[in-house]
Amino acid sequence: MDLSLSTRTVGDRTVVEVGGEIDVYTAPKLREQLVELVNDGSYHLVVDMESVDFLDSTGLGVLVGGLKRVRAHEGSLRLVCNQERILKIFRITGLTKVFPIHTSVEEAVNATD
Amino acid sequence: MATVELRFSALPEHVRTARLVAAAVARRAGVDEAVLDEVRLAVGEACTRAVGLHRSNGVDMPVRVVLTEEEKKFSIEVGDEVPETSSGPGSRTGDEAAGHPAPAAGEPGAEEAEDEGTMGLAVISGLVDDVEVTSGPGGGVIRMSWPTTPTVELP
């Protein structure tokens, strides 16, 4: 199982759909994608994690890194996730306070702070 | 006597293999299905940390994973070969070796976690009730265990 990534633009947001396993081996691929988007001027990101089967702390680190990058441009990074086993990891690390987590891409795309 | 013992080169691509093997052996040992996700994640975190320590300290030896089916519990040991005294970038710090979790998210340290995966121990201690982190001159060991449900023996 590898990591799959696809991006699309919805209004002023860029939606990154992630599938598969995000771990120490695959996380660099996600990091590259986020870095590339920010370098290309996409500062409002929505990371759709509905097809993610596994996420570990390396993946969390990449998401935190992405958040740091978009914030440097006054951007945003929102997550879409309804899977309890993935949400649990955000909860035990306290990251639910750091990331806005939405139940659908539509909700995330329309969200404002 | 270990039920299954695994040694793998300290490469990120092998961490997934360790997760799969650990989950399969845990299932056989009678660990509850609902807890297998936790076993998978905790083993992955422990192995990721060991791989990181080996790589940043230039240690060529493999990472060890020992899976043991005991009477009422299933235990996992993940051992690295990085001695406590080692210094230099990426070496185990006194705090980490003593089992103190990495900085929690939202704290200043959390944003530096991107490259070092310092959240790994925090995830393990948040997930596993029975966990012990030790380190000595021969390297460090993370020991974790989960209760097992005894299989019903038919007469």
The ipTM estimated for the assembled molecules is 0.90
Q: For each of the domains in chain A, give its residue range(s) and CATH number, in order of start.
A: 3-110 (3.30.750.24)
Residue A2 has pLDDT above 70, yes or no: yes
Nearest chain B Cα to A25, which residue? Answer: B12
- Whether A92 sits inside 8 A of B15 (CB atoms) is no
Q: Do B113 and A97 touch (CB under 8 A)?
A: no
Interface test with A, best of B14, B36, B40, B41 (most A CBs within 10 A): B41
Which of B37, B44, B106 is nearest residue A23 as measured by Cβ atoms? B44
Confidence of residue B78 (pLDDT cuts 50, 70, 90): very high
| Per-residue confidence (pLDDT) for residue A47, from 0 to 100 | 98
Mutation site for B-interface testing, chosen from A1, A2, A21, A23 by largest number of B Cβ within 10 Å:
A23
Instruction: Flag whether residue A83 sits within 8 Å of chain B, measured between CB atoms.
Output: no
- What would the DSSP string read from start to end of chain A? --EEEEEEEETTEEEEEEEEEESTTTHHHHHHHHHHHHHTT--EEEEEEEEEEEE-HHHHHHHHHHHHHHHTTT-EEEEE---HHHHHHHHHTTGGGTS-EESSHHHHHH---
Per-residue pLDDT, B101: 44
Query: In chain B, what are the domains?
Result: 4-147 (3.30.565.10)
Show residues of chain B in contact with A89, CB under 8 Å: 41, 123
Residue of chain B with shortest Cα separation from A88: B127
Give yes or no for B104 touching A (CB within 8 A).
yes
Mean pLDDT throughout B145-152?
A: 82
Q: Is the pLDDT of residue B41 over 80?
A: yes
pLDDT of B111 higher than 90? no
Tell me if chain B has a CB within 8 Å of the CB of A95: yes
